């Protein structure tokens, strides 16, 4: 059915069809309030339910909420009716990178720029525990300024998807770009598999054809398994070395992203650029005194300002954004959020204090993101919990707490028996609300005082 010219949710005017797949169509749209061009992905809910892709859709939404980066296609909004789900996405006017390379190899500086942007985006995903698993030129889009945008996170995995052996086991991806360990179905590291795919993409950008190609699929898999490819004679030594390390069939010896960024060929043309907001790239400093306790002096409290949330971010983090109820009965959530009128420095200090009591180590990852890890291995590996601080206003913060690795029951015990009670003196409200304690009839339950309004509860 043609829906061009119709208005979606009184917010977006739908235009021409940009593309379509088995379960979704993508239309050009225009935000009626701002005039901004967007891409509206329309998903048929009945088809998704029928083939069992519900979890894939929910995972794609949750992952796109996590990965906000200049070189990753941005999700603006999710809407739903009884029959359809709508994604309002950033519009990539330049189309697919595949369209460019299908016409032949790219000039080396152009290929390098796209590759640098790809590596930066993938590095950011991995820092958030997200593995794309289907990187290929068809999933790399270009905006109006010819900047690369990674898209299509439908096959992505989160760190919590790892099995007890710490590896991923779902075989997925596009054959020509997939790593040999994924084909062998013996378990694989998501980051190593993504690096292999990036290596194949780099080769394609520089040559216009695939490194592993054969009309016989099994023969192509044999070449992939052995890392059997040849570099053209015009390749520079630095790029030859880089590709040989990225396309090493043994993932244990495959190059890391940190080492890729040190390669001389990769570094050409890069320049140190001052970010729009210096706080975005500063490391989060956890002030510690000589005895390990949190410092109190102004010099020691060099705490980076946490990320700021806009209106859509706040809505997106609310229960109404969770599409679970559209498909099934709600289950226990693996993340919890609380709001506080305390400063980011006080919240960090409190989390340090609780981590010490729980015998967990705490480390910084980036501005506003902390990681708490158990000292000993649990039922499903080392329990790891991310605590990310977001600035709602100068004096009001939200903190999202979620499991990034380990056993869910162990996480819930730490959350409900350690973090919730330990943070109660700085928390304004939790979402979801704290589960009710086990009733003890012999002791009367005291009445709960009413919560003060935010205007009355301005904590120092």
- In order along its 460 residues, the chain shows pLDDT tens digits of 556 668 898 899 999 999 887 778 999 999 999 999 999 999 988 888 887 778 778 888 888 888 889 999 999 989 888 889 999 999 999 999 999 999 999 999 999 999 999 999 999 998 888 888 889 999 999 999 999 999 988 776 665 555 544 555 555 568 889 999 888 877 788 899 999 999 999 999 999 999 998 888 888 889 999 999 999 999 999 999 999 999 999 999 999 999 999 999 999 876 544 444 433 333 333 333 333 333 333 333 344 456 655 444 444 444 444 444 444 444 455 678 888 888 888 899 899 999 999 999 988 766 678 899 999 888 888 899 999 888 776 667 888 898 888 888 899 999 989 999 999 888 888 876 555 444 444 444 444 444 344 443 333 3
* Parts of the chain belonging to CATH 3.30.200.20: 7-90
Alpha-carbon gap, residue 186 to 112, rounded angstroms: 33
Alpha-carbon gap, residue 240 to 232, rounded angstroms: 9
Q: Is the peptide bond before 432 cis (omega within 30 degrees of 0)?
A: yes
**Structure confidence at residue 188 (pLDDT):** 80
Q: Exactly one of 2, 99, 134, 322 is catalytic; which is it?
A: 134
CATH of 95-267 among 3.10.20.90, 3.20.190.10, 3.40.50.620, 1.10.510.10: 1.10.510.10
**Structure confidence at residue 201 (pLDDT):** 97
* Parts of the chain belonging to CATH 1.10.510.10: 95-267
H/E element holding 121? helix 108-127
Residues listed for the chain: 460
CA 281 to chain centre: 17
Which tokens sit at 46?
Answer: 């009945």
Which tokens sit at 353?
Answer: 């204090």
Cα atoms in the 13 Å half-sphere on the side-chain side of 72? 23
Domain 283-431 has CATH 3.30.310.80: yes
Buried b (16+ CB within 10 A) or exposed e, 148-161: bbbbbbbbbbbbbb
User: Residue 340's beta-bridge partner residues?
Assistant: 397
CATH of 7-90 among 3.90.1300.10, 3.40.640.10, 3.40.50.2000, 3.30.200.20: 3.30.200.20
**Structure confidence at residue 261 (pLDDT):** 95
* Parts of the chain belonging to CATH 3.30.310.80: 283-431
Residue 125's nearest CA partner among 159, 164, 92, 97 is: 159
Q: In the annotation, is 407 catalytic? A: no
Which tokens sit at 73?
Answer: 């296609």
Q: Is 41 annotated as a binding residue?
A: yes
Residue 346's nearest CA partner among 218, 459, 445, 209 is: 459
Buried b (16+ CB within 10 A) or exposed e, 176-214: bbbbbbbbeeeebbbbbbbbbbbbbbbbbbbbeeebbee
Answer whether 104's CB lies under 8 Å from 209's CB.
no
**Structure confidence at residue 96 (pLDDT):** 92
H/E element holding 10? none
Query: Rounded to a whole number, what is the largest CA-CA distance in the chain?
Result: 84
User: Residue 131's beta-bridge partner residues?
Assistant: 157
Buried b (16+ CB within 10 A) or exposed e, 37-52: ebbbbbbebeebeeee
Buried b (16+ CB within 10 A) or exposed e, 71-81: bbbbbbbbeee
**Three-state DSSP class for residue 233:** coil
CB count in 10 Å sphere of residue 114: 23
């Amino acid at each position: 059915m043609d829906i061009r010219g119709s208005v979606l949710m009184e917010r977006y005017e739908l235009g021409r069809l940009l593309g379509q797949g088995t379960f979704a169509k993508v239309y050009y749209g225009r935000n009626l309030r701002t005039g901004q061009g967007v891409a509206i992905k329309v998903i048929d809910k009945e088809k998704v339910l029928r083939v069992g892709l519900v979890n894939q859709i929910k995972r794609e939404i949750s992952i796109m909420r996590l990965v906000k980066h200049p070189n990753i296609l941005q999700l603006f909004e999710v809407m739903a009716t009884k029959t359809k789900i709508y994604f309002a996405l950033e519009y990539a006017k330049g189309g697919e990178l595949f369209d460019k390379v299908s016409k032949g190899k790219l000039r080396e500086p152009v290929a390098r720029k796209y590759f640098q942007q790809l590596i930066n985006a993938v590095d950011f995903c991995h820092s958030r525990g997200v593995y794309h698993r289907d990187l290929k030129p068809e999933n790399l889009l270009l905006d109006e300024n010819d900047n690369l945008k990674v898209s299509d996170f439908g096959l992505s995995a989160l760190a919590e998807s790892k099995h007890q052996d710490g590896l991923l086991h779902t075989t997925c991806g596009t054959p020509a770009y997939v790593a040999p360990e994924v084909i062998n179905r013996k378990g694989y590291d998501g980051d190593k598999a993504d690096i292999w795919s990036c290596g194949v993409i780099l080769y394609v950008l520089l040559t216009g054809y695939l490194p592993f190609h054969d009309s016989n699929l099994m023969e192509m898999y044999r070449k992939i398994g052995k890392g059997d490819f040849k570099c053209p004679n015009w390749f520079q030594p630095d790029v030859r070395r880089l590709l040989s390390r990225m396309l090493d069939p043994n993932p244990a010896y495959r190059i890391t992203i940190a080492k890729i960024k040190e390669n001389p060929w990769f570094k050409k043309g890069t320049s140190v650029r001052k970010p729009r907001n210096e706080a975005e790239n500063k490391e989060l400093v956890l002030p510690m005194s000589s005895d390990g306790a949190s410092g109190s002096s102004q010099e020691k409290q060099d705490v980076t300002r946490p990320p700021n949330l806009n209106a859509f971010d706040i809505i997106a983090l609310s229960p109404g954004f969770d599409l679970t109820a559209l498909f099934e009965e709600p289950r226990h959530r693996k993340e919890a959020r609380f709001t506080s009128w305390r400063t980011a420095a006080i919240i960090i200090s409190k989390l340090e204090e609780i981590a010490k009591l729980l015998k967990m180590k705490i480390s910084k990852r980036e501005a506003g993101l902390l990681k708490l890890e158990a000292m000993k291995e649990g039922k499903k590996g080392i329990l790891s919990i991310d605590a990310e601080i977001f600035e709602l206003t100068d004096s009001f913060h939200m903190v999202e707490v979620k499991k990034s690795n380990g056993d869910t029951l162990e996480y819930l015990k730490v959350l409900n028996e350690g973090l919730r009670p330990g943070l109660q003196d700085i928390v304004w409200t939790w979402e979801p609300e704290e589960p009710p304690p086990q009733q003890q009839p012999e002791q009367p339950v005291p009445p709960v005082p009413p919560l003060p309004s935010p205007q009355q509860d301005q904590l120092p």
